[in-house]
Amino acid sequence: MQVELDGHAAWVYTGGKPFDPSLPVVLFIHGASHDHSVWALQSRYLAHHGRAVLAVDLPGHGRSGGMPLPSIEALADWIARLLGAIGVERAMLVGHSMGSLVALECAARHPQRVSALALVSTAFPMRVSEELLTATRDDEPAAQAMVNLWSHSGLAQYPGNPGPGFWVARVNLRLMQRQRPGVMHVDFAACDAYSNGLAACARVSCPVLLVLGTRDAMTPPRAAKGLSAALSDVRVVEIEGAGHAIMAEQPDALLAALERFGA
């Protein structure tokens, strides 16, 4: 569905079902240079199993209009405004990578809006190497190739891909290529600059789930230890053999972790 927000169209996928705000709401937030489609497998399942699903395209990404927002804090406030525009009082937020920082900051800044958090492939600080950050600005194809390589436990999936026509690594690369010029640099710069993670943890009172891939080269499990130590109500699930793109590489394991958590 399409929502008018801040003078622009915001695109929100509802999992193939009409959105029903009377059901428990789960809002999915994608990572850098992605859009709502990274959550296709999890969002569609939950929408058909008793949840009201909102999988957003952040500003300037996918089908959403406007310019990409330059900070995690601005994105967190945008999520809160989006919930208000749709008429949702409280939702569980599920965020991947950059989206996990957005979800964390949103829960800290707008606790009345957030019932629970699931932070997937998360880390704090989420620093970006100078080489990669420069490439996102000056040579997007090179940056996309680097990120695509580092996002997966292997470029040939075993025992196969999640469904017919679903090529994990190529889908991820093509998705980055579809974003507008400049989006990648804004996103990675926002991750690199975000410094409020531990302070945000101290203000989060809702239950939090961390889902980490044991073979994640972008945000390895050790990089989330500061978050887990700073949160008051936290569970940690490590998915064996998963890389950074857990949603595509290990969709069933991620879904099981979310369901056990209450999604």
> Does the pLDDT of residue 42 top 70, yes or no?
yes
Mean pLDDT of 195-217: 97
pLDDT of residue 169: 86
What are the tens digits of pLDDT across the range 207-240? Answer: 999 999 999 999 999 999 999 999 999 999 999 9
pLDDT of residue 164: 57
pTM reported for the whole predicted model:
0.96
Mean pLDDT of 34-47: 96
Cis peptide leading into 59, omega within 30 of 0?
A: no
pLDDT of residue 17: 96
What are the tens digits of pLDDT across the range 173-192? Answer: 999 999 999 999 999 999 99
Strand order in the sheet with 2-5: 2-5, 8-13, 52-56, 25-29, 91-96, 114-120, 208-213, 234-239
pLDDT band at 23 (very low <50, low <70, confident <90, very high): very high
pLDDT of residue 73: 98
CA distance 212 to 240: 9
Domains of the chain, earliest start first: 2-261 (3.40.50.1820)
